[in-house]
Structure 1
Amino acid sequence: RSRSTRSYGEQFKHWSLEQLPIAPERWRVEVKPKTASQFKVVKQLLGKATELVIATDADREGELIAREIIELCGYRGKIQRLWLSALNDASIRKALGALKPSSETLPMYFSALARSRADWLIGMNLSRLFTVLGRQAGYEGVLSVGRVQTPTLRLVVDRDREIAHFVSVPYWTVEVGLSSEAQQFFAIWLPPQSTTDDAGRCLQESIARQATERIRAAGAVQVQAVETERVREGQPLPFDLSTLQEVCSKQFGLDVQETLDIAQSLYETHKATTYPRSDSGYLPENMFTEISTVLDSLLKSDPTLRSVVDQLDRTQRSRAWNDGKVTAHHGIIPTLEPTDLSAMSEKELAVYG
């Protein structure tokens, strides 16, 4: 973990404007006290090793954790990277047979390191700045500032103010019940633009009532024009994390953290789905050959899917298969091996299904 400011000198013990900005010339990391004994074991093992395989989480933060430990231990031998997209046996064996050179994932370490140091610099400097200024103005608390938390707080405050200052505006609509050739349907009156607001709503009750009276007096309507449009909608992509969280919020009322926890459980505990923190909904083209294996595993997990699976064209390539749009991880999909649905909770089943 990154050290506190006091690790860079006792002069930072007391907060003052004269100390700012704090920008370490040499960055330091320290081992957490509760993991010190385990770190000692790792360091001893690395001292005897001639080759190392990084097997932390296959993402930026996992890369950062591993590289910082390696640096602290002073290891200088050969390094390879185990890149896991799923934790079932078949996927692990496949990944072990395709270890990556450490240079391929090194940029992810630098990305995570930049994020970590940016968080530290913004948090340490701006929190001190606004806290000291606050105390000068009579506020005694700590004003915490963060690279992510503060812009997010601004969005929440702006939205809260919009709600507090919202003024409802009455408007009128006219719906007409119609029937033709034994088919019943509704039509909606479109008011003149001179009587509407920017959203196209009629703000004058008298105009709406006049329209209602004219429609009733007419007794019948005539279709003057018909417009048709042929639209082709692409198949939905596999889930990425943010899309999964959005869908689970709408369908099951789950918040983003609960959805992430469930997705993590499906990945780690049940080994039913692939890596959950993906930001891509696309799949690498070399996985196309695994379609039959995945579908057969789904049938073993849930035989009731037979009628659906039998109708699928296993040779069709949808837009999901696109190497150019796959990032560090592909979309979230079922793994290559069956899973025990009876071991899942009700919410896990809902997200998995």
Structure 2
Amino acid sequence: MKLFICEKPSQAKDLAPHVCARGRIIGAFTGNDVTVTWCIGHLVEQAKPEQYVLALARWNLDLLPVLPRQWAVQVKPSVKTQFDIVVRLIRQAQDIVIATDADREGEVIAREVMQIAGYSGPVSRLWLSAMDAASIRKALAHLLPGAKTLPLYFSGRGRAHADWLAGMNLTMALTSAFGSGGREGTWHVGRVQTPVLALVVRREREIRAFIPKTFYELRAVFSLAETEVPVQWVVPPTLAGDAGHATDEAKVKVVAARVRGRAGRIGRVETTPERELAPLPFSLGSLQREASARYGLKAAAVLDACQALYEVHKVATYPRTDCEYLPASMFMGAPTTLSAIASVDATLRPLADEATLDSPGRAFNDARITAHHAIIPTANSAVRLSAFSRIGASSTTRSAAGISRSFSAITNICVP
């Protein structure tokens, strides 16, 4: 049996028809001696400190630091059923294709379970950054040897161990040291979260320590050839304070009285030619910022909308990406994508028709691709905008009308 291991159920569902695994069993798709299963993210997690040092069931500074000689993992209780299914299928497989996310965490998710199951057979890697049909077919035709991506597993495992050593030992140490001083609860420390928290705290202290100072400006409007040009007074050094602002209100009012109602003279004009590059496609962060600025949408609402556009409607690529570039190979599919955009929303046809497709722009850059490429519309034209409003929303997040507005907004600004 050939086994494909995906990272999440939605990936397995999209991949299964392309490998003729159209039958459904518990925890997998199967057919034609091919099975597609999934991991629901990490099925196992790093063992707790007390599993290495039994006495640490109660944290004690004298027992720190804990430096495991042999690292151990434990199955997450919430995914125990799926873990058992995946391990059973791995032990039945003669050939495995890792089809998790194309990054080091995806590599770890699959290989850590394969290691637990004791698998030693051939391994291939399905390297996918998008789950549309064209991308899946192309990736299946160009499977990578497992050895090529194995270093990602060691990198991810090293990162996990570093997080554990720093996080667990320092959390236990600080909690033990300060917990007896009347401060209850756990003092969490993380290799990443603690430095980030320090940056936030330092900035907050700067804000609180800031002392506002009043300064004054003079603004005027010049009428030039029926065009109004706003101008601002440049404060002379004799009136400027430490920051270059005028702080003496009386002196500024004197200047204002002298020029009020009088004609000005343009003594010199300087022009500087500038070139503005076309904006890059969206990463999740840049899309959330744009949606907030344009429509006032919260980051969670944008992610929810993008996730549904990706998983439910198949009209947008994978949203959880920090990349703003596209693979060079995707340029050949640009005309098809533009055609699909115009078919789904006729109001966007003029923009699609104006697109220049003579040569790839700076957005198509293989060297800048990370685990996933930028968010763009897919070539799926078999959908109607009215379908977006039928997606429900959790009572803890937004109303159905709210998510409908989110879909409409995100669809509009995803168009290049």
TM-score normalised according to structure 1 size: 0.92
For the Cα contact (< 8 Å) 1:86–1:271, is it kept in 2?
Answer: no
**Which one of the candidate residues 405, 410, 414 is aligned to 1:346?**
405
Q: CA deviation at 1:277?
A: 2.6
Matches within 5 A, 1:28-47: 28-47=72-91
Q: CA deviation at 1:136?
A: 4.2
Aligned partner of residue 244 in structure 2, secondary structure? coil
Which range is displaced more, 333-342 or 201-210? 333-342
Please give the alpha-carbon distance, in whole angstroms, between the structure 1 residues aligned to 2:76 and 2:260. 78
Change (3 A) 1:329 1:308: same
> Structure 1 segments of 4 or more deviating over 4 A?
none
**Which one of the candidate residues 88, 95, 120 is aligned to 2:139?**
95
For the Cα contact (< 8 Å) 2:101–2:129, is it kept in 1?
Answer: no
**Which one of the candidate residues 277, 280, 291 is aligned to 2:334?**
291
Please give the alpha-carbon distance, in whole angstroms, between the structure 2 residues aligned to 1:254 and 1:147. 31
For the Cα contact (< 8 Å) 1:86–1:335, is it kept in 2?
Answer: no
Which range is displaced more, 42-51 or 63-72? 42-51
Please give the alpha-carbon distance, in whole angstroms, between the structure 2 residues aligned to 1:137 and 1:336. 61
Change (3 A) 1:125 1:135: same
Please give the alpha-carbon distance, in whole angstroms, between the structure 2 residues aligned to 1:197 and 1:268. 57
For the Cα contact (< 8 Å) 2:96–2:123, is it kept in 1?
Answer: yes
Do structure 1's residue 331 and structure 2's residue 374 form an aligned pair?
Answer: yes
Aligned partner of residue 179 in structure 1, secondary structure? strand
In structure 2, the residue matched to 1:241 is 284
For the Cα contact (< 8 Å) 1:195–1:204, is it kept in 2?
Answer: yes
For the Cα contact (< 8 Å) 2:341–2:349, is it kept in 1?
Answer: no
**Which one of the candidate residues 320, 328, 333 is aligned to 2:363?**
320
Q: CA deviation at 1:199?
A: 4.2
Letter in 1 for 2:250: S
Q: CA deviation at 1:93?
A: 2.2
Count of residue correspondences: 352
For the Cα contact (< 8 Å) 2:59–2:176, is it kept in 1?
Answer: yes
Letter in 1 for 2:120: R
Q: C-alpha offsets along residues 178-234 of structure 1, whole Å, 9 cap, x if unaligned?
A: 3234333332111113433454321111221222122238x2211111001111111
Which range is displaced more, 9-18 or 159-168? 159-168
Q: CA deviation at 1:336?
A: 2.4
Which range is displaced more, 295-304 or 252-261? 252-261
Q: CA deviation at 1:322?
A: 2.0
Question: Which ranges in structure 2 are unaligned for 5 or more consecutive residues?
Answer: 1-44, 389-403
Q: C-alpha offsets along residues 214-273 of structure 1, whole Å, 9 cap, x if unaligned?
A: 2238x2211111001111111111112222232223223334444333333322222212
Give the alignment's Cα RMSD to 1 decimal.
Answer: 2.1
Letter in 1 for 2:144: K
Matches within 5 A, 1:89-168: 89-168=133-212
Letter in 2 for 1:91: S
Q: CA deviation at 1:63?
A: 1.7
Change (3 A) 1:254 1:156: farther
Please give the alpha-carbon distance, in whole angstroms, between the structure 2 residues aligned to 1:45 and 1:184. 74
Change (3 A) 1:184 1:41: closer
Same amino acid, percent of matched pairs: 43
Matches within 5 A, 1:208-287: 208-216=252-260, 219-287=262-330
Letter in 2 for 1:177: V
Q: CA deviation at 1:118?
A: 2.0
For the Cα contact (< 8 Å) 1:90–1:337, is it kept in 2?
Answer: no
Please give the alpha-carbon distance, in whole angstroms, between the structure 1 residues aligned to 2:283 and 2:248. 46
Please give the alpha-carbon distance, in whole angstroms, between the structure 2 residues aligned to 1:249 and 1:116. 34
Change (3 A) 1:135 1:43: closer
Which range is displaced more, 149-158 or 119-128? 149-158
TM-score normalised according to structure 2 size: 0.79
